Amino acid sequence: MNNILEVKNLNKVFEIKKFLKKSLSLKALSDVNFTLGQNVTLGIVGESGCGKSTLAKVLTQLEIETSGEIELLGKKYKDYKPREFHSLIQMVFQDPYQSLNPRKKAFDIIADPLRINTDKSEEEIRELVYSMMKKVGLRAEFAQRYPHHFSGGQRQRLGIARALMLRPRVLILDEPVSALDVSIQAQVLNLLLDLQKEFSLSYIFISHDLSVIQHISDKILVMYLGRIVEYGPRDEIFLNPKHPYTKILLESAPTLTVGKQTKEIPESAKGEIPSALYLPKGCAFSPRCPMVTPECLQAIPELLNKDNRLVACFNA
Amino acid sequence: MLLEVENLNIHFKSDRSKNPIHAVRDLSFSVKQGEMLGVVGESGSGKSITNLALMGLLPDSSLVTAKKAEFNGHNLLSLKDKQWQKIRGREVAMIFQDPMTALNPFLSVQFQMVETIKAHMDISKKDAIDKSIELLSLVGIPSPKDRLKAYPFELSGGMAQRVMIAMAISTNPKLLIADEPTTALDVTIQKQILDLIKMLQERQNMAVVLVTHDLGVVSQYSERLQVMYAGEVVESGPTKDLISHPEHPYTHALLGSRPGALVDNLRRVPKTILPSIPGIVPSFNERPIGCQFSPRCEFVTPECQRSPIPIFESEPAHREYRCIHPIEHVVIK
Ligand SMILES: Nc1ncnc2c1ncn2[C@@H]1O[C@H](COP(=O)(O)OP(=O)(O)OP(=O)(O)O)[C@@H](O)[C@H]1O
Ligand SMILES: Nc1ncnc2c1ncn2[C@@H]1O[C@H](COP(=O)(O)OP(=O)(O)OP(=O)(O)O)[C@@H](O)[C@H]1O
Ligand code: SF4
Ligand SMILES: [Mg+2]
Ligand SMILES: [Mg+2]
């Protein structure tokens, strides 16, 4: 069995209650399907509000899906006991400043998952904490420091160390390097690549930085307003994108090519992303799509196999 | 020169120690009319406070000194509050990273725009409204008349930044300081905002200082580039030369550690280890005597650590760098 994670028809709807008014339903995730193999990094990109963090939270069960099914190592989520579940899948957050308890010392931050989820002795825990600190590049004397004494990059290492203590198979990383300086980003990305090899980890890596995504991922999943619009191997997506949204996204990304301006964004694609509260009837991208045809306004395009990837577009 | 700064120093009084924090050291740079200067550098390197100093917006706990700080004929260091009011928002305007916090959430776009315009121009309310509509359509806001009635929370981040830009350019400033104007926005929106700033720069012959942490952004939009590290300029020059042939080891390493094979002239194989800069920026109380980058530099020699490194100039190319072992020479060696 080579799928670590299997996501089937996942939907997440938020009910937004308005005072004295009818509540509104916000479809944050619609019919999301994908699999994650061992040792594989799945990069997730898409505009703000397209549901990336919601997906991350549902996968770690910080939010519960409205419908659909997720299997981890061939076993349904709902058949797991919490302890076992948390030892297999862990999350690293964007903001190393906010995701760590400021009143706890580094040692305890890293040790707590073991104390809560295992029956290991303090002696064993001590050993495991120090060896993990070494692994993620934190010096032993840092163990007694509080998070505010760490730099951004060190805090992110702390977050990664904590997430790895239970030896998970999957790490969900939601914008893990976005808050870091470029020079520090490279250190953390290198660490993640190292750890992936050493522990055979599978990553779900969310980032709005396409150069980071391209570097770290094996497969790419592009989302738009809660739906997957394109999903496939990294090079197919980056070198030969098929969905009009993916194309515009890649063309907008700043590159280091001096002088050579990126392509002009088609006039229709300018402007803002519609709200997930009021989705268009047909393809969610249709209001901005330069290739829109009447059919796009009628029905939602299915995610279909085409040129070595899945793409949801009538005209791809 | 529109803006000329020589040996700008910014100190902050510190609660924790007797010695003030020396946050910006001997910063010299200039901006010509109509050009875009890109500023990149490590977080905390002094990019924002330099801009705030130029706008006269630093808190009282700061001490700003310079050999020269001249903008459009004004000596910025001797301006009184009254005089600042005439210049700020009129001859020089600024936009920030988070447009939502810069707009008053309780007032409509119309109210805020009309107030801004009327504060700087002697025109009627009706004319100010017409001008607002014109500006909103110039910055690419669809149905500007309706949008004028909107409140900030009804705008998306991209729309709010457009409104900020519209307000900033309402007085035809000579200089627009844009401090991370697109960091909070999506890439497709970022591109539209940067294209807009570029268009306004060219159309109004307005100078722009564009601060960003993204080398990709400056490489595409700015004519000249300034790289900051630990409160100092470490390198500056024409963007093209600087990116293709960095002289300073920090710039070199920064370019090298950029992931992504999207980058044409620096091919990166995905999932391989990136060249990274070890260590972190020294804190204020452990700043080295010599080169600020020396603790992290791969080319460091004892000479680098002895005394502060002056700026070297290579005249014909208008390049400047603060390093005694510039890369081009290192490569030859
Ligand atoms: N708890 C919640 N209640 C109601 N709506 C929510 C909640 N959490 C998220 N949403 C909405 O769901 C949609 C998806 O949000 P999500 O945070 O997943 O986006 P994202 O892709 O992570 O965006 P970003 O790039 O800005 O982080 C958005 O429209 C958001 O406003
Ligand atoms: N009011 C203040 N009092 C004391 N120190 C300050 C004050 N304002 C800024 N600083 C310090 O001055 C240094 C430079 O800050 P600045 O905001 O200019 O950095 P920056 O280069 O803009 O960084 P970033 O990329 O994170 O925006 C920082 O170390 C900051 O902590
Ligand atoms: S002066 Fe020395 S330490 Fe500083 S950047 Fe140049 S080579 Fe490196
Ligand atoms: Mg998110
Ligand atoms: Mg700043």
* Domain assignment present for B330: no
Q: Which of A26, A30, A64 to mutate to test the pocket of ligand 1 (most atoms within 8 A of CB)?
A: A26
H/E run at residue B20? none
- Please tell me the distance from the alpha carbon of residue B132 to that of residue B114, in angstroms, as a whole number: 7
Prediction pTM value: 0.90
- How many angstroms separate the alpha carbon of residue B309 from the centre of ligand 4? 43
Q: Do B240 and A259 touch (CB under 8 A)?
A: yes
* Domain assignment present for A11: yes
Write the single-letter amino acid at B128: A
Instruction: For residue range A253-277, list pLDDT tens digits in order.
Output: 888 766 555 677 777 777 666 777 8
Say yes or no: B160 and B85 in one domain.
yes
CB A56 within 8 A of CB A172: yes
pLDDT of residue A33 exceeding 90: yes
Q: Which residues of chain B lie closer than 8 angstroms to A250, CB-CB?
A: 262
Say yes or no: B255 and B216 in one domain.
no
* Domain assignment present for A256: no
Q: Which residue of B has its CA nearest to A246?
A: B188
pLDDT of residue A73 exceeding 80: yes
Average pLDDT over residues A75-79: 96
Q: Which residue of A has its CA nearest to B279?
A: A184
Q: Which ligand is nearest to the CA of B16?
A: 2
The reported pLDDT for the residue numbered A282 is: 94
Residues 6+ apart with CB under 8 A from A279: A27, A225, A226
* Domain assignment present for B233: no
* Domain assignment present for B333: no
Q: Which residues of chain B lie closer than 8 angstroms to A249, CB-CB?
A: 187-188
Interface residue of B212, B262, B267 to substitute, partner A, most A CBs within 10 Å: B262
Structure tokens belonging to residue B129: 């409204």
CB A220 within 8 A of CB A234: yes
- Please tell me the distance from the alpha carbon of residue A213 to that of residue B270, in angstroms, as a whole number: 9
Say yes or no: B213 and B142 in one domain.
yes
Expressed as residue numbers, the domain containing A41 is: 3-88+168-249
Q: Which residues of chain B lie closer than 8 angstroms to A47, CB-CB?
A: 186, 188
CB A191 within 8 A of CB A157: yes
Phi, psi for residue A119 in degrees, rounded to 5? -110, 25
Ligand 1 contacts (CB < 6 A) are: A 14, 16, 26, 28, 46, 48-54, 208, 276
Residue A262 DSSP label: P
Say yes or no: B310 and B202 in one domain.
no
- How many angstroms separate the alpha carbon of residue B279 from the centre of ligand 3? 15
* Domain assignment present for A30: yes
Structure tokens belonging to residue A173: 């990383």
CB A279 within 8 A of CB A13: no
Cα of B274 to nearest chain A Cα, Å? 6
Instruction: For residue range A101-129, list pLDDT tens digits in order.
Output: 999 999 999 999 999 989 999 999 999 99
In degrees, to the nearest 5, what angle opens at C-alpha B226 toward C-alphas B224 and B230?
175
* Domain assignment present for A286: no
- How many angstroms separate the alpha carbon of residue B50 from the centre of ligand 5? 9
* Domain assignment present for B71: yes
Q: Do A182 and B219 touch (CB under 8 A)?
A: no
- Please tell me the distance from the alpha carbon of residue A142 to that of residue B270, in angstroms, as a whole number: 32
- The pLDDT mean for chain A works out to 91
Report the nearest atom of ligand 3 relative to the CA of B325: 7
H-state helical runs in chain B: 47-54, 81-87, 99-102, 109-120, 125-138, 144-147, 157-169, 187-204, 215-221, 239-244, 249-256, 302-306, 327-332
Confidence of residue A173 (pLDDT cuts 50, 70, 90): very high
In degrees, to the nearest 5, what angle opens at C-alpha B234 toward C-alphas B41 and A154?
45
* Greater model confidence, A17 or A13: A13
Residue A144 DSSP label: G
Say yes or no: B153 and B202 in one domain.
yes
Q: Which residues of chain A lie closer than 8 angstroms to B257, CB-CB?
A: 182-183, 185-186
Q: Do A216 and B274 touch (CB under 8 A)?
A: no
Say yes or no: B188 and B253 in one domain.
no
H-state helical runs in B104-186: 109-120, 125-138, 144-147, 157-169
Which of the listed residues B171, B191, B222 is the one where a domain comes to its end?
B222
- Please tell me the distance from the alpha carbon of residue A57 to that of residue A222, in angstroms, as a whole number: 17
Q: Give contacts of B 37-56 with A, CB under 8 A.
A: 42-43
- How many angstroms separate the alpha carbon of residue B96 from the centre of ligand 4? 22
Q: Which of B186, B191, B260 sits opposite A47 (nearest CB)?
A: B186
Place of tokens 């924790």: B16
Q: Is A182 helix (H, G, I), strand (E, B) or coil?
A: helix
- Please tell me the distance from the alpha carbon of residue B39 to that of residue B25, in angstroms, as a whole number: 16
Helix axes B157-169, B125-138, angle to 10 degrees: 120
* Domain assignment present for A127: no
Q: Does B279 touch chain A (CB under 8 A)?
A: no
Residue B128 DSSP label: H
Say yes or no: B13 and B140 in one domain.
yes
Q: Which of A185, A214, A261 sits opposite B220 (nearest CB)?
A: A261
Q: Which residues of chain A lie closer than 8 angstroms to B274, CB-CB?
A: 186, 189-190, 215
* Domain assignment present for A46: yes
CB B203 within 8 A of CB B172: no
Interface residue of B156, B276, B296 to substitute, partner A, most A CBs within 10 Å: B276
Structure tokens belonging to residue B49: 């406070």
Using the Cα atoms of residue A249, residue A251, residue A255 and residue A261 in order, give the sign of their dihedral.
Answer: negative
Distance of CA A146 to the CA centre of its chain: 27
Q: Which residues of chain A lie closer than 8 angstroms to B261, CB-CB?
A: 214-215, 238
Which of the listed residues B187, B222, B257 is the one where a domain comes to its end?
B222
Which strands form A24-37's sheet, in the order they lie side by side? A24-37, A3-16, A67-72, A75-76
- Please tell me the distance from the alpha carbon of residue A231 to that of residue A4, in angstroms, as a whole number: 17
> B142 vs A63, B22, B133, B159, CA distance in Å?
37, 46, 10, 10
Closest C-alpha to ligand 3, atom 1: B323
Say yes or no: B191 and B284 in one domain.
no
- Please tell me the distance from the alpha carbon of residue B62 to that of residue B21, in angstroms, as a whole number: 9
Q: Which residues of chain B lie closer than 8 angstroms to A152, CB-CB?
A: 43
The reported pLDDT for the residue numbered B186 is: 84
The reported pLDDT for the residue numbered B155 is: 85
Q: Do B220 and A217 touch (CB under 8 A)?
A: no
Task: Specify the number of domains making up chain A.
Answer: 1
* Domain assignment present for A234: yes
CATH number at residue A181: 3.40.50.300
Say yes or no: B94 and B176 in one domain.
yes
Q: Do B271 and A184 touch (CB under 8 A)?
A: no
Interface residue of A151, A225, A236, A255 to substitute, partner B, most B CBs within 10 Å: A255
Say yes or no: B247 and B115 in one domain.
no
Q: Residues of B274-300 as b/e, b for ≥16 C-beta within 10 angstroms?
A: bebbeebbeebeebeebbbbbbbbebb
Q: Please list the pLDDT of chain B residue by residue as tens digits (333 residues).
A: 999 999 999 999 987 778 889 999 999 999 999 999 999 998 889 999 999 999 999 999 999 999 999 999 999 988 988 899 889 989 999 998 888 888 898 999 999 999 999 988 899 999 999 999 999 988 888 788 988 999 998 888 888 899 999 999 999 999 999 999 988 788 888 898 999 999 999 999 999 999 998 888 898 899 999 999 999 999 999 999 998 889 999 999 998 888 875 544 456 788 888 888 988 888 888 899 999 999 999 999 999 999 999 999 987 778 999 999 998 754 433
Q: Is B143 helix (H, G, I), strand (E, B) or coil?
A: coil
- Please tell me the distance from the alpha carbon of residue A117 to that of residue B209, in angstroms, as a whole number: 52
Instruction: For residue range A180-198, list pLDDT tens digits in order.
Output: 887 788 999 999 999 999 9
* Domain assignment present for B234: no
Using the Cα atoms of residue B70, residue B317, residue B256 and residue A142 in order, give the sign of their dihedral.
Answer: negative
Ligand 2 contacts (CB < 6 A) are: B 12, 21, 23, 41, 43-49, 59, 61, 213
Say yes or no: B147 and B211 in one domain.
yes
CATH number at residue B29: 3.40.50.300
> A108 vs A137, A143, A147, B115, B207, CA distance in Å?
17, 8, 11, 53, 52
Q: Which of B156, B239, B277 sits opposite A272 (nearest CB)?
A: B156
Regarding beta strands B74-75 and B68-71, do their DSSP bridges make them parallel or antiparallel, or are they unpaired? antiparallel
Cα of B275 to nearest chain A Cα, Å? 7
In degrees, to the nearest 5, what angle opens at C-alpha B150 toward C-alphas B146 and B154?
120
* Domain assignment present for B41: yes
Q: Give contacts of B 96-135 with A, CB under 8 A.
A: none
Expressed as residue numbers, the domain containing B271 is: 243-321
Minimal CA–CA distance to B35: which of B210, B196, B183, B212? B210
- Please tell me the distance from the alpha carbon of residue B206 to that of residue B32, in angstroms, as a whole number: 9
Closest C-alpha to ligand 2, atom 6: B12
What are the helix and strand counts (H, E) for chain A?
10, 12
Cα of B10 to nearest chain A Cα, Å? 22
* Domain assignment present for B109: yes
Confidence of residue A223 (pLDDT cuts 50, 70, 90): very high
Task: Specify the number of domains making up chain B.
Answer: 2
* Domain assignment present for A219: yes
* Domain assignment present for B309: yes
Say yes or no: B208 and B253 in one domain.
no
- Please tell me the distance from the alpha carbon of residue B81 to that of residue B56, in angstroms, as a whole number: 9
